[in-house]
């Protein structure tokens, strides 16, 4: 029986390619084999199905008036329901919570991620109506935010 891994995240999970997107009126993706979800699928091999549920601009629990429908907390229950039974949910969110408009501390961002983990742990989206396991991945370290003007 194949193991199902649901990867729930933002543009990093979606595979956003900043180089090709800069010359395009709409976002472009890295090819599947180059996205971290594709690399994971290749390494795991047969017996595993990696589901990519990434969305550009997705936050943990916050509404962005300029990017509607990107609140992870709102979409997560439907996402879990549509992909069950799930063995593992990898949550990789929090980077978009750093937007200045939200003015959040690291503790508040972690709390938002914790709410998502709680939703998964209380769900029946795993095998036999149990909750799937959860792996929470922190956003990548941003050492020099001046190099990421869109984040500012």
Q: What is the pLDDT of residues 19-31, one digit of tens each?
A: 999 999 999 999 9
Is 152 part of a structural domain of the chain?
Answer: no
For the stretch 38-64, pLDDT in tens is 999 999 999 999 999 999 999 999 999
Residue 145: pLDDT band with limits 50, 70, 90: low
Average of per-residue pLDDT across 1-19: 96
- Say how many domains are in the chain: 1
CA neighbor of 65 nearest in space, from 77, 57, 73? 57
* Per-residue model confidence as pLDDT tens digits over 80-126: 999 999 999 999 999 999 899 999 999 999 999 999 999 999 999 99
Three-state SS at 6? strand
User: Is residue 63, in this structure, part of any structural domain at all?
Assistant: yes
Among 2, 133, 14, 42, smallest CA distance to 80 is for 133
CA distance 26 to 20: 10
Q: Which domain, by its residues, includes 37? A: 3-147
CATH no. for residue 33? 3.40.50.1110
In a domain, 91, yes or no: yes
Q: What is the pLDDT, as a whole number, of residue 138?
A: 86
Dump pLDDT digits (tens) for 63-92.
999 999 999 999 999 999 999 999 999 999
Flag whether 18 is in a domain: yes
CB atoms inside a 10 Å sphere around CB 59: 26
Map tokens 């508040």 to a residue.
108
pLDDT of residue 150: 62
17 occurs within a structural domain: yes
pTM of the model: 0.91
Asked if residue 107 belongs to a domain, the reply is yes
């Amino acid at each position: 029986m194949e193991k199902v891994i649901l990867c729930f995240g933002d543009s990093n999970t979606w595979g956003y390619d900043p180089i090709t997107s800069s010359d395009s009126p709409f976002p472009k993706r890295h090819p599947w084999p180059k996205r971290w979800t594709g690399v994971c699928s290749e390494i795991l091999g047969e017996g595993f199905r990696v589901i990519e549920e990434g969305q550009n601009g997705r936050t943990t629990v916050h509404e962005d008036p300029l990017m509607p429908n990107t609140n992870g907390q709102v979409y997560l229950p439907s996402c879990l329901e549509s992909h069950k039974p799930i063995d593992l949910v990898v949550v990789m969110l929090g980077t978009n919570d750093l937007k200045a408009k939200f003015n959040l501390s690291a503790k508040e961002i972690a709390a938002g991620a914790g709410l998502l983990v709680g939703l998964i742990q209380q769900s029946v989206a795993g095998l036999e109506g149990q909750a799937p396991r959860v792996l929470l991945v922190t956003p990548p370290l941003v050492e020099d935010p001046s190099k990421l003007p869109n984040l500012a």
